[in-house]
Amino acid sequence: MSKLWGGRFDKATDALLERFNASIGFDRRLYAADIAGSIAYAHALEKVGILTAEETRAMVDGLHAVLAEFDAGTFAFLPSDEDIHTAVERRLGELIGEAAGKLHTGRSRNDQVATDMRLYLLARIPVLREHLLGVQRAIVDKAEAHLNVITPGYTHMQPAQPILFSHWLMSFFWMLQRDLERLDDLTKRVAVMPLGGAALAGNTFGIDREALAVELGFDRISENSLDSIPDRDFVAEMLFWAALLQTHLSRLAEDLILYATAEFGFVELDDAYSTGSSIMPQKKNPDSLELVRGKTGRLVGNLVTLLTTLKGLPSSYDKDLQEDKEPLFDTLDTLELELPIVAGVIDTLRLNAEGMASALRDDLLATELADYLVRQGVPFRQGHHIVGQAVRLALAKGCGLRDLSVADYQTISSYFGDDVHDVLDFRRAIEQRSVPGGTATAAVKVQIEQAKVLWGGRTRKSAMLFS
């Protein structure tokens, strides 16, 4: 079978180059987008008189038949099918004859592939969005169901101040909320139609690009063919979006892996999300979370791959751009598999409130003592110093801050009164932080309510019914 572009060539393509050049192995998944684009384009050609009504009908019917073959998995690829665009056009010709040759009038694979990629993404983004919401819902459900659980909060991985476990959980909700907002924002830039730009300079037949955009579900048309044909910013944005989301998931995974160790003992992963060791019978490993952490290199790598491909490209289409596909597909596939797993891990996670309680060391309350002194009129810096001495005294005595007597405290500073032990209480320390965004129960409840408002007040179950 001769190539679409074979007219000016004397010799056959080198066999290795043929393989090197072909994208059909990975761009075949664009078939539905490619065919939708061609159906709309046939309508546009009819409107400008390139196709008769009869030819258009035959072409559209033929394209539907090709689509059905792909959907059924019966489409027979030929070695000559260089890419998805070639394969669809070749098959259309077999089904409807010579008239198929009119479909590509005024169109180039350059504007075609750019359009296909955008259509493909517009179809997959809602799926990713639902999966992301699923993780957020799992977080909020868990946070709401275990609002009373107190855990040490850390900075520098050193015990810092007590917090609600739900406050920790909700911190990831907000990271993912920004990811969700970023996804919605970038979708606006995906929904721009380059079709009609042809190879680089624009369509010669006066096709109605606005009507094409409406038919294909784009928000608007691109302004400059030279910009929009090679524009892969939308792919780069998608890959950055995914890399940052993955970074958030990786951090969540890291915390949970640590909290699930025997040494911490704060949480236990469900068996369904753990695996065993081939040699050590006692092992229950958090492989699910380790892979979540591990996929980060891959997703960041996909972003770097694309940016490196785009860097230094001269104006308009270059074949380098074919390298946009595998990183994008790999990232989308990874997240689609991964996000429901993350939701499942959180959903089934068992919290060990006692384990967390036994990790509540007295020095997590040192700030409470300093704040106590502030309320007695001591400048904070001075209070900080005084409490440092109390910490040293406790260390010297081999006891905790709560075990020091009022007399002990008063040897350090006369500002300490009989009521000093009242502030040495984990629950009290938490409830003191009722500022919006703080860890007090009421403040965390506000976060949970805010999260629900963001979903239009839907609870998890009703959200599933509606979706």
SS3 251: helix
Distance CA 433, CA 443 (A): 8
Q: How far is the CB of 99 from ligand ARG (least distance, A)?
A: 23
Interacting residues with ligand ARG (CB under 6 A): 23, 27, 83, 109-110, 113, 317, 319, 321-322
CA dihedral 6, 9, 12, 17 (to 10 degrees): -80
Q: How far apart are CA 17 and CA 446, in angstroms?
A: 61
What Cα–Cα distance (Å) separates residue 444 from each residue in 147, 170, 370, 435?
8, 8, 24, 10
- The CB-of-316 to ligand ARG minimum distance in angstroms stands at 10
Name residue 350's beta-bridge partners. Answer: 268
Q: What DSSP string runs through 411-462?
A: HH-TT--GGGGGG--HHHHHHT--STTSSSHHHHHHHHHHHHHHTTT--HHH
Tokens of 454: 């963001």
Of 277, 315, 405, 462, which is the active-site residue?
277
Give one word for 153, left, alpha or beta, with left for phi > 0 and alpha for psi -120 to 50: beta
Using the minimum distance from each CB to ligand ARG, give the nearer residue, 46 or 111.
111
Measured from the CB of residue 217, what is the shortest distance to ligand ARG in angstroms?
22
Closer CB to ligand ARG, 30 or 163, in the complex: 30
Nearer to ligand ARG by Cβ, of 198 and 366: the residue is 198
Considering 43, 131, 146, 156, which one is annotated as catalytic?
156
Please, what is the minimum distance in Å from the beta carbon of residue 116 to ligand ARG?
A: 9
Residue 77: strand, helix, or coil: coil
Distance of CA 8 to the CA centre of its chain: 46
Residue placing its CB nearer to ligand ARG in the complex, 80 or 450: 80
Task: Report the nearest approach of ligand ARG to the CB of residue 323 (Å).
Answer: 8
Q: Which is nearer to ligand ARG, 20 or 466 (CB)?
A: 20
Q: Length of the chain, please?
A: 467
User: d(Cα 12, Cα 110) in Å, to the nearest integer?
Assistant: 23
- Of 316 and 441, nearer to ligand ARG (C-beta) is 316
- CA distances in angstroms from 260 to 352, 356, 358, 365, listed in the order given: 10, 11, 15, 24
Q: Whole-number minimum distance, CB 294 to ligand ARG, in Å?
A: 29
Tell me the two tokens of residue 91: 């098959």
CB of 43 to ligand ARG, least distance (A): 22
- The DSSP result for 182-199, as a single string, is HHHHHHHHHSEE-TT-TT
Assess whether 156 carries a catalytic annotation.
yes
Residue 216 neighbours by CB distance under 10 Å: 20
Toward ligand ARG, which CB reaches closer, 27 or 179? 27
Tell me the two tokens of residue 99: 């008239």
Catalytic residues: 156, 277
